[in-house]
Amino acid sequence: MSAAAAAGTWRLGDLEVNRIGYGAMRLTGNGMAGNSDGTPIDRDAAVGLLHRAFELGVNHIDTAAFYFSPLRSANELINRALASWRGDVVVVTKVGPARDPSGEWLPRDRPDRLRGQVEENLRQLGRDCLDVVNLRAAGPRTVSIAEHFGALAELREAGLIRHLGLSAVLPRHVTEAQTIAPVVCVQNSYGLDWRRSDETGLVDLCGERGIAFVPFFSVSGLRREAAAGREQDARVRSVARAHDATPAQVRLAWTLHRGPHVLAIPGTSNPAHLAENIAAGSLRLTGEELALLGTPAGGTP
């Protein structure tokens, strides 16, 4: 059994993936905010890192066309890595937000312009059909997503997309979307320090409906796009010492313990951190440790 399979698997529609995946944002330096973390990873090193992830069993990658810096595009690096890899890898991308070539964020696209974003992802990834496309909600969270999700559903019917998901949404958006087309995954901020999805009931709702819940920023927490800082939580440090693990591994394990439908997509450009993140799937926390860390209602040890 591969390292990434130690936490088990889940299905995104008809696509079975290991619960430990990889988030590609950091391959560019910092894909959401531009090249703010210094010189981006060398292209060959990036391809090597992705191949190492695949060797460890990662078969689920999260990306977006707007993950780019002045010198790197996450999609381009993934395309290059997959071109020289024979195994099956599910690539999940997202649309909704967009950036111009200089990196500046653009206003929310109209529904009829989402096709252009989908086609851009197809070009960059070198594919004729995208495995999964998440609609990332933009603007006030009270706004309906029906028109935008409906536009993606039409592209799914046209054969450009295999499955659909959502990102940065509330439970009512999931219900709204499911009246239009099947939803296979939901991506929201979630972790020990950021539990709004528990407060709204979104994690449990996804579990009840057989939808994968895919947290982002589960390691960096309130630092969000920034790399995880020095661990400040004494509870996390204590559990990490008990397992001879890193604090990041404990945070990932805590997230995975939330339910069998919860996946993880930690990102890094560091090969050592990559191996540690994937190994977190085999870390089993005790009931006492989960209580110490604060298991949300409905959590599973």
Query: ∠ at Cα 227 (1, 6), nearest 5°?
Result: 10
Domains of the chain: 18-293 (3.20.20.100)
C-alpha span between 217 and 197 (Å, rounded):
13
Mean pLDDT of each 10-residue bin along the chain, 301 residues long: 91 98 86 49 93 98 94 95 95 93 83 94 98 87 89 98 97 97 96 87 97 87 52 88 95 95 94 96 95 62 34
Consecutive H or E run containing 185: strand 185-189
Could you confirm whether 22 is annotated as catalytic? no
Residue by residue, DSSP assigns 48-77 as HHHHHHHHTT--EEE--TT-B-SS-BHHHH
Strands (DSSP E) found in 1-44: 9-12, 15-18, 22-23
pLDDT at residue 70, as a whole number: 87
Best CA proximity match to 299, nearest among 205, 187, 218, 204: 204
**pLDDT confidence of residue 74:** 96
Amino acid at 69: S
pLDDT at 219: 80
- Pairing label, strands 15-18, 9-12: antiparallel
Name the packing angle between helices 247-256 and 234-243 (round to 10°): 90
Among the listed residues 199, 193, 202, the one whose alpha carbon sits nearest the alpha carbon of residue 254: 193
pLDDT at 30: 53
pLDDT for 39 equals 67
Report pLDDT for 298: 39
The sign of the CA dihedral 75, 76, 81, 85 is: positive
**Dihedrals φ, ψ of 22, to 5°?**
-145, 135
Can you tell me the distance from the alpha carbon of 207 to that of 214, in angstroms, rounded to the nearest whole number?
Answer: 11
Give the pLDDT score at 46.
Answer: 95
Residue 108 neighbours by CB under 8 Å, 6+ apart = 96, 97, 138, 139
Q: Strand 130-136: give its sheet, edge to edge.
A: 22-23, 60-62, 90-95, 130-136, 161-167, 185-189, 212-216
> Rounded to 5 degrees, what are φ and ψ at 164?
-120, 150
**Amino acid 31: pLDDT:** 43
| Active-site pick, 10, 22, 66, 67 | 67
Helix then strand then coil, in percent of the chain rounded to 5, is: 40, 15, 45
**pLDDT at position 262:** 97
- pLDDT recorded at residue 38: 53
Q: What is the pTM of this model?
A: 0.91
Sorted by sequence, the CB contacts under 8 Å of residue 161 that are 6+ apart come out as 118, 129, 130, 132, 133, 152, 155
Name residue 246's amino acid.
Answer: T
How many Cβ atoms from other residues are within 10 Å of residue 90's Cβ? Answer: 20
